[in-house]
Each structure stands twice: as C-alpha cells, then as structure tokens.
Amino acid sequence: MVLTTGLTPLAKKVLQKARPQIGGLFHYSTDDPWNSGQRAQWFLESLTAYDGVFSTRKANLGEFAALGVKTSHLPFGYDQDLYFWDSNRGIPDSKCEKAKVFLAGGADNDRVILLRALVNAQIDLSLYGDYWERAKSLKPFWQGRADPSQIRKEAVDSMVSLLLVRRANRDGSAMRSFEIPACGACCVAENTEEHREMFGPDGEAVLYFKTPEELVRRVKEAFGNPELRAKLRANARRAITGKPNTYVDRLKTILEQAGGNGK
C-alpha cells in the first residue's frame, strides 16, 4: 500500500507505473487542492489514479466526487508525544495565568483582521507563526516560530488560546484545533460545523465566535471569569484526548477502510 499526503505527493505517471507493484493507492488530503493560491492541474489529474482519498475538510468532498474519486472525511489529529498536558507544570490558577491571547499559525488576511480587532480593544497578544511581521500593528506581538514545547507552555500560561481555521483552504477545523486543546488550553474557536461537532455547544468546552466584534467579546468574557476558564480547559482537553484523535488513530482508520476495499 502507498499513502501520500499534502499537495506534492506523486505525479499520475509515477502512480500508474507503480500500480502493478502495490495493492492500493491512497491519499490523505491535508490541504485544499482547489485553493486558488496552491492549485496545480497536474495534482488534480493525479487524484484520479488513487483508490481513495481522505480529506480533512468536508467542503471539497463534492469536488473529489466530481472527479470520480472515492473520498471520505478524515479530520486532522494530533501527535500525543508532542502535544499534551504537562502534569508536572500543572494548569495555573487565576493568579498565574497571563492576561493575553495566544495564537500559533500563519498570518492569513482574515486572521490579521481578527487579531487587529483584539489589539484595538487593547488586548495583549502572543503571536507565533509566519508573516505576522508584515502587519505593522501586530508586529510588536510577533515572537517568531514556536516548537511544540513552546506551544505547550503558551497554551497553558495564556488565559485564552485561539482556534482559527484557514478560510482559503475552506477548513472547518485545523491542526491546532486538536493540538492546542490537548495541551490544556482555554480556547475561543471559530464557529464552524466541524468545531461544534468536536467541542459541543457554546460554553461547554470552548467559546465560539463568528465576527471580529464577537471575538473581542468572547475573549473578554473568558478573561473575566476564572471558573469558566478552568472548565473550558478541562472539557476541551477531554473532548480531544478522550476520543481516538491521534495520528495513530487516523492511520488505523485509513488502514481499516483500505482493507474494507479489499486492498
């Protein structure tokens, strides 16, 4: 069996040449092939050579089907060896938490708008990821890239961590949607169908928002309520780690479905 991921796996001619030597060809689509910023015709053509595709987003299942590709929705997951609650440090009480909002991710234009709203509301930020230095008002809060150990620390120390999707990818959830809660963070999340499936009703495991104004309101709500933050930390972590959401689990699902197809 051959399993590829991402946007640059194998060309169709390579897959066709390899076909006689393998039992099954499958692809785990972690990016949107129809994203205008990364669309490649050769890649779209290669998809028809696969026995099946697993997509992390629901929004493009119809487009895969239109190509004649058998596709299943299989969300992102997390690596339990990298993203976990460090019980030795413990979850801080309200006296130790830092009144700031943590985000690890790239500076997509729609995200810049959201973070500017927080800055305009005089809310402190802790930003990690690429390209934030290009946004003048956000550059003072940018701290470069974060490795998993830094993400674990920031997720626990910050009063609020953001769970944002990549709208250019039409995501309903993202890698951080799994990784950040697994570390024990108090999360404010974009209101998407997939986030609601993961975390349940508003206020149970996360606080949801749709607009920049609502984001500011939900962050202030979390800042002002230590009991709520403690509840969200525990419930969000349980929502992720209490279910089969690791990448080992994702691979098991792929192998099971591949086996069900006779591969």
Written as one letter, the residue type at 238 is R
Looking at residue 262, its pLDDT comes to 46
Instruction: List the CATH number of the domain containing 13.
Output: 3.40.1260
Q: Whole-prediction pTM value?
A: 0.91
The pLDDT assigned to 90 comes to 61
- Mean pLDDT in order along the chain per 10 residues (263 residues): 82 87 89 83 87 93 92 96 82 78 95 97 97 94 96 95 91 96 97 97 98 98 96 97 97 88 50
What region does 85 belong to: left with phi over 0, alpha with psi -120 to 50, or beta?
A: beta
3-class SS of residue 87:
coil
Question: Is residue 64, in this structure, part of any structural domain at all?
Answer: yes
Does residue 189 lie in a domain region?
Answer: yes
Residues 148 and 21 in one domain: no
Please indicate, yes or no, whether residues 232 and 195 belong to a single structural domain of this protein.
yes
| C-alpha–C-alpha distance, residues 77 and 178, integer Å | 6
Task: Give me the pLDDT at residue 220, please.
Answer: 98
| 200 plus 219 within the same structural domain | yes
Residue whose C-alpha is closest to residue 91's, from 161, 1, 14, 157: 157
**131 shares its domain with 233:** yes
| 43 domain-assigned | yes
The three-state DSSP-derived secondary structure of 55-111 is: ECCCCCHHHHHHCCCCEEECCCCECCCCCCCCCCCCCCCCCCCEEEEEEECCCCHHH
Q: Which of 206, 229, 82 is nearest to 156 (CA)?
A: 229
120 within some domain: yes
Residue linked to tokens 């890649």: 43
- Structural domain range at position 218: 98-241
In terms of domains, do 170 and 251 share one?
no
Assess whether 23 and 148 both reside in one domain: no
